[in-house]
C-alpha cells in the first residue's frame, strides 16, 4: 500500500495540494499545463508557472482527485465545485471508475473515508493502492 500523504506546493496566487496515493498518472496535468506540472523535475509542481485561474481550471480537471487547491489562509481544500447532490460514476475506457460526488469508502480494516470531490477506483485488479487506481491498469494491459 502506498503512503497516504498530501504535498503542498505554495505559490504567489495559489497553493496546490497533491495526494500522491490518489494519482492515476493520467498525464492530463502535465500535457495540458507543462509550465506548472513537470514530472521530470523535483519539485515536480511549479505553482507560479501560470496564473491562478488557469491553474485552478487545470486542477479541477484532474480525474482522480489527486490535485486540489488550498486557500492560503485556511486549511480547507477545494476541488471542482459541487453543483448538485448527485454522485456520478464514469467508466474510463480500459481504466478506473471515476467517481464524482460524496462517497463513503469502508476499507477492509474498518477505516472509513469520506470523499467529497473526486476519486478513481480500480477496475482492473492490479492497483497496489486498492480500492483506488494507481495507474497500474496501463502496465497490466487491462482492457474493458
Residue 36 interacts with ligand SF4 (CB under 6 A)? Answer: no
Residue 123 CB, nearest approach to ligand FES (Å):
5
Residue 64 sits in the site that holds ligand SF4 (CB under 6 A): yes
Nearer to ligand FES, 21 or 54 (CB): 21
For the beta carbon of residue 105, count every other beta carbon within 10 angstroms.
14
Selected from 16, 23, 56, 99, the binder of ligand SF4 by CB under 6 A is 23
The answer to whether the beta carbons of residues 102 and 95 sit under 8 Å apart is: no
Binding site for ligand FES (CB under 6 A): 24, 95-96, 122-124, 126-127, 133-137
Contact 27, 37 (CB under 8 A): no
CB atoms within 10 A of CB 80: 16
Q: Which is nearer to ligand FES, 59 or 122 (CB)?
A: 122
Q: Nearer to ligand FES by C-beta: 47 or 96?
A: 96
Q: Select the binding partner of residue 124 from ligand FES, ligand SF4, none (C-beta < 5 to 8 A, by kind).
A: ligand FES
Q: Binding to ligand SF4 by residue 70, rule CB under 6 A?
A: no
CB-based contact 49:35 (threshold 8 Å): yes
Burial bucket for residue 60 (CB in 10 Å: 0-12, 13-18, 19+): middle
d(CA 83, CA 103): 15
Amino acid at each position: 500500500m502506498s503512503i497516504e500523504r498530501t504535498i503542498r506546493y505554495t505559490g504567489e496566487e495559489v497553493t496546490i495540494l497533491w495526494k500522491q496515493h490518489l494519482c492515476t498518472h493520467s498525464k492530463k496535468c502535465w500535457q495540458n499545463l507543462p509550465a506548472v506540472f513537470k514530472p521530470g523535475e523535483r519539485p515536480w509542481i511549479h505553482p507560479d508557472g501560470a496564473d491562478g485561474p488557469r491553474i485552478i481550471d487545470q486542477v479541477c480537471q484532474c480525474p482522480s482527485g489527486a490535485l486540489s487547491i488550498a486557500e492560503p489562509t485556511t486549511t480547507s481544500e477545494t476541488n471542482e465545485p459541487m453543483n448538485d447532490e448527485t454522485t456520478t460514476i464514469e467508466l474510463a475506457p480500459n481504466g478506473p471508475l471515476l467517481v464524482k460526488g460524496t462517497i463513503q469508502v469502508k476499507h477492509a480494516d474498518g477505516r472509513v473515508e469520506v470523499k467529497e470531490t473526486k476519486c478513481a477506483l480500480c477496475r482492473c485488479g492490479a492497483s497496489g493502492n486498492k480500492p483506488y487506481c494507481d495507474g497500474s491498469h496501463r502496465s497490466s494491459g487491462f482492457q474493458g
